[in-house]
Amino acid sequence: MKSILMISLHGYVGAHAELGKPDTGGQVVYVLELAERFSRLGKRVDLMTRQFEDQPEYDHVDENYSVWRIPFGGKKFIRKEDMHDHLKKFVTNALAAIKKERKKYDVVYSHYWDAGWAGQKIAEELGISHVHTPHSLGWWKQHSMGSDMEEKEMEKTYRFKERIRKEYFVYQMCNYVIATTLPQVDLLTKQYDVLPKNCGMIPPGIDENRFFPVPSKENDRIRAKYDIQPTDILALGRMAHNKGYDLLFHALPTVFELCPEARLVAAIGGDQSDQDNQGIEKLKKLAEELGIADKISWKNYIADEDLANVYRSANIFVMPSRYEPFGMVAIEAMACGTPSIITVHGGLCDLIDFGNQGLFADPHRPKEFGAMMAMPLLYPKLRNELSVEGARFARRNFGWTGIAKRMLEVFRSSINQRTMESNIY
């Protein structure tokens, strides 16, 4: 196996991630890191995505790896929920471009349902193996949000029926599904009828060269630079309903009652879009209603080069998501030596040793979640143990090179299986 066609269609995918822009978050980091590690391991990689706005056709990263943009759906940004309307055109244009460039691939590796549907069609046309990573599952997302939105509104916004139908097709037809958590594997077999032999779990990774702890004296200097205090709680991520920032705000009065010196650093949003600004204004209004507005420091954009230092500066990192396929931000924070308090509504809580490597709670129960955030602030010994053991856990289990090697083994196995099946018929 020498050549890999990776496909990730939505958001802003490029050699340098434009994190914080619409639909551009953890999945983009995941895809770019794997593409780079495959390249380091001697594989030729084309990462195919959508060309829109004023983006160039190619980003040539190194001699083995390029981002290749295929135009479809016009020049404007298209949110991932509306990719349904444009995927056939992408498949047609992608196959024409592959033929024109005389490209040869051994495997298609697709990400999320949109690229999965297109990737299956492309793999069938090319006669090669297709491996897919869902990142999140429509069935899970729909049922997690059921109590928060009316059914008609939910369907209009998220188009779950179309998504789940396409997901079912992809998971049934592709050679192998790589889930990022064990609960995802369980849902794939129970809700999508995937054969257990055709799916498995490989967790996401972190960049070990960026995310690591530093000595306390150095951390003091870092805090001064970013105006973050030793008792601050950090929340960081895109402005999205599923991230549960409103749930976090409802839990904060409990934290401040137990730890009056605490403060929330809210690094939420990033692209300054109308949607982001509206979401942040709602949170600020909620903070006023709860009487905690003066205990929140807003940082709406964190540059990528500053991210590790911002993680390091806080006392704890908090991830209050309503649902979270994995939660790379929490693993990055842990790798930097910052204890993480995470949601129970996701796969990461199944992997950590509670009270040793991290803490978890239900963000739908404000007092429970608030009390859990307060624990490391109240007890420095607990905080130090979580810091050390959390960093060890993150680095041992989630280094990207090791993750990429495990992926390549799956690719080889799927290629060999397909070859055997072809010989039989």
Q: Which long-range contacts (CB under 8 A, 24 or more apart) does 70-74 make?
A: 70/94, 70/97
Tokens coding 236: 């960081």
pLDDT for the residue numbered 156: 86
Q: Which of 97, 144, 139 is nearest to 118 (CA)?
A: 97
Domain at 3-205+400-424, CATH from 3.40.50.2000, 3.40.50.300, 3.30.565.10, 3.30.1300.10: 3.40.50.2000
In sequence order, what are the residues at sequence separation of 6 or more whose Cβ sits closer than 8 angstroms to the Cβ of residue 419? none
Per-residue pLDDT of the chain (425 residues; tens, 9 = 90+): 899 999 999 999 999 888 889 999 889 989 999 999 999 999 999 999 999 999 999 999 999 999 999 999 999 999 999 999 999 999 999 999 999 999 999 999 999 999 999 999 999 999 999 999 999 999 988 887 755 567 788 888 889 999 999 999 999 999 999 998 888 999 999 999 999 999 999 988 888 889 999 998 999 999 999 999 999 999 998 888 889 999 999 999 999 999 999 999 999 986 667 778 889 999 999 999 999 999 999 987 788 889 999 999 999 999 999 988 778 899 999 999 999 999 999 878 988 999 999 999 999 999 999 999 999 999 999 999 999 999 999 988 888 998 999 999 999 999 998 887 777 66
d(CA 163, CA 320): 25
Three-state SS for 422? helix
d(CA 279, CA 26): 20
pLDDT for the residue numbered 147: 55
Whether domain 216-398 has CATH 2.60.40.2140: no
Give the domain ranges of the chain.
3-205+400-424, 216-398
